Amino acid sequence: MARIICLANSVRPGGSCMAGIDLQTGKWVRPVPDTRNRAITASMMLTEGKTLPEILDVLEIPLEDFGPDDGCQPENRLLKLGKWKKVGRITAKDLLQYCEDDTVILHNHTDHVVPGFFGETPKNKWKSLQLVRNSEVQFISAYKEGQWRASFKDGCGHTLNLKLTDPVVSQRLRRGDGISRDCMLVISLTTPWKPQGEDRPELCYKLVAGVVEL
């Protein structure tokens, strides 16, 4: 069993994408099932069969020591059969120790990474998850109804405008709730993807998969 701080339980096609930090190693972990789309269903992650994990929960999750990197996600670890268990909860201030330097967020200063980058870069340099703090985050309604984006500058002053996939914060924004501009953001990198029917290359896109207000 791995003991993990849940830092993202975000929306993805077919279910959810969960990620967090292993308390034993201090490293990122993305639990994934052995399925084609890697989506976790609600029934897989119910704790004690009752409730869904929330950001800042501490969970015990049955995981293998390995997983498929899918070409750009070295943090992936395969789920084993067994029940998830909530064993605690941390505060936002407890999480600050895990924030990383935001000078470069997931390899570059843009909203995506070209898949070929990973073929040219040693695997020990790959990353697809990063926690950063930013005190000037703006949440902007996207062109699609009910969707939101997070806009902020990285440590070098480059603006990132990324899709928000945190379902709890998205729901709060739709209700008109105010969200603090001082946040910790979980930035996640997708596997290569392009909009269906569009004639353009596949890219690995950066998403804001989790938001923790300060």
* pLDDT for res 22: 98
43-84 residue pLDDT tens:
888 888 788 999 999 999 999 999 999 999 999 999 999 999
* pLDDT for res 29: 98
| Cα angle value 78/45/190 (rounded, 5°) | 55
CATH 2.40.50 fits 96-213, yes or no: yes
Return the structure tokens found at 69. 């990197």
* pLDDT for res 49: 76
Nearest Cα to Cα of residue 107 among 93, 121, 89: 121
Positions of the chain with pLDDT lower than 50, given as ranges: none
Helix (H, G, I), strand (E, B) or coil at 104: coil
* pLDDT for res 109: 98
